[in-house]
Amino acid sequence: MRILNNNEFSIANAIRNFSLVHGGNGSKFYIGITNDIQRRLFDEHKVDEEKGTYYVREAISKGSAGKIEKYLLEKYPFFEGDTGGGNDDSVFIYIYKIVDTTFQRTNEGTHFDDATLITG
């Protein structure tokens, strides 16, 4: 497990606390990093901007964001996601509650559209 500095641990702790407050009943959350919250969270993952359960924090660098993401994915089984994504300027760490209308794997060339698997 990677060691986080105080700022990184503070962000990781805030994200974990958010998931505990908004979880319950075995809820799952998706966590990721991005340089564009609007595109990634709302356009690609299809999180409802008004009714969805989500939280965003900004790290000081992509390296820091990646460390936080990896730490949370390794430590907590209720978080889903993959490490190694994002661009050089991906400093935003986001989390959202997985529901029937969200898409979790938008960066792998596969997405779900009206319950039909489309690859390409």
Handedness of CA 12, 13, 16, 18 (dihedral sign): negative
Cβ(44)–Cβ(103) below 8 Å: yes
State how far the Cα of 118 lies from the Cα of 17, in Å rounded to an integer: 35
Least confident of 8-17, 84-93, 98-107: 98-107
3-6: Cβ within 8 A, 24+ apart: 4/67, 4/68, 4/71, 5/64
User: Among residues 95, 105, 97, which one has the least CA distance to residue 26?
Assistant: 97
In a domain, 72, yes or no: yes
- Domain limits for position 35: 6-119
State mean pLDDT over 87-110: 83
Q: Model pTM?
A: 0.82
Residue 97 maps to a domain: yes
Query: What would the pLDDT profile of 18-50 be if each residue is shown by its tens digit?
Result: 999 998 667 899 999 999 999 999 999 999 999
Asked if the structure places residue 1 within a domain, the reply is no
Buried b (16+ CB within 10 A) or exposed e, 56-93: ebebeebebbbbbbbbbbeeeeebebeeeebeeebbbb
Query: pLDDT exceeding 70 applies to what percent of the chain?
Result: 83
* Contact present, 108 and 44 (Cβ < 8 Å): no
Q: Compute the average pLDDT of residues 66-70.
A: 94
Q: Which residues pair with 92 in a beta bridge?
A: 34, 58
The total number of structural domains that make up the chain: 1
Q: Where are the alpha helices (DSSP H) in the chain?
A: 6-22, 37, 62-75
